Amino acid sequence: MRRNFNFMPISFPLFVILLFLLFLLLPLLIFLYTGGIVAAFSRLGFSPGVGFLLFILILVGSTINIPIKEVKAEIPFVQNRMVNFFGVSYRIPVVVSENIVVTMNVGGALLPVLISVYELSRMLLSGHFFQILITIVAVIIVTLFCYIFARPVKGVGIAIPFFIPPLITVLTVFLLTRGNAASVAYISGTLGTLIGADILNLNKVVGLGAPIVSIGGAGTFDGIFITGILSVLLI
């Protein structure tokens, strides 16, 4: 007879110690995470106070999705419902929806895009037209690589290995420019990931098997947001 065994890979006392250390280090980890984001915004020209405010807005915005459009799914979404009749339970399939709602997450996509537009406007007002040209080229390169590596995953969405967008962004910016590199890295990382991984793959959401698809839907841990922050910190 085949049996399934569940076991803990480490001893219970060691597990308790590690759990205790995690609780001790949790405030430090939160501080480092927040501090890293604020530091990235500081390199983009924001004061520490504004950087922290942006972090809070992004954190809150990660819980908000704005509907953009509806597309018809390849297969209707069916949900099983139980009906009891004279003590007997029957499983009845019911069509829940035939459409997929495409949304944009405020914290994971909308706010990073607005920050990118702000950085571009600063370049324009400062007369850094060559820097804008470099930024456009960087966006195109990051978009191309993100589109190549992005894959639709049923029940999940459009997925891409988390390290690829920031790695490509940093390498691209390093080769193209030295001055104002933080702004170029943030804009190209954010817009390149958004366009290459999400927008250019919207035609594939009809077969993902999910009634709602959110661009930037993982909030603060989504690829769009993380790519922008990591790119600025690594450049």
Give pLDDT tens digits for 16-71.
Answer: 776 676 666 666 556 556 677 888 888 898 988 888 888 888 878 888 888 888 88
Q: What percent of the chain has pLDDT over 90?
A: 29
Name the average pLDDT for the chain: 79
pLDDT at 155 over 60: yes
Q: Which two tokens stand for residue 124?
A: 């324009």
Give pLDDT tens digits for 173-187.
Answer: 999 987 778 999 999
Would you state the pLDDT for residue 94? 57
Would you state the pLDDT for residue 152? 81
Q: How far apart are the C-alpha atoms of 190 and 116, rounded to whole Å?
A: 7
**Mean pLDDT of the region 115-135:** 93
Residue ranges of the domains in the chain?
65-72+98-234
pLDDT at 220 over 50: no
Would you state the pLDDT for residue 29? 56
Q: What percent of the chain has pLDDT over 70?
A: 72
Q: How far apart are the C-alpha atoms of 215 and 82, rounded to whole Å?
A: 34
CB atoms within 10 A of CB 206: 16
Give pLDDT tens digits for 79-111.
Answer: 666 667 566 665 665 555 567 888 888 888 999
Would you state the pLDDT for residue 87? 62
Q: What is the 3-state secondary structure (H, E, C) of the chain?
A: CCCCCCCCCCCHHHHHHHHHHHHHHHHHHHHHHHHHHHHHHHHCCCCHHHHHHHHHHHHHHCCCEEEEEEEEEEEEEEEEEEEEECCEEEEEEEEEEEEEEEEEEHHHHHHHHHHHHHHHHHHHHCCCHHHHHHHHHHHHHHHHHHHHHCEEECCCEEECCCCHHHHHHHHHHHHHCCCCHHHHHHHHHHHHHHHHHHHHHHHHHHHCCCCEEEECCCHHHCHHHHHHHHHHHHC
pLDDT at 154 over 90: no
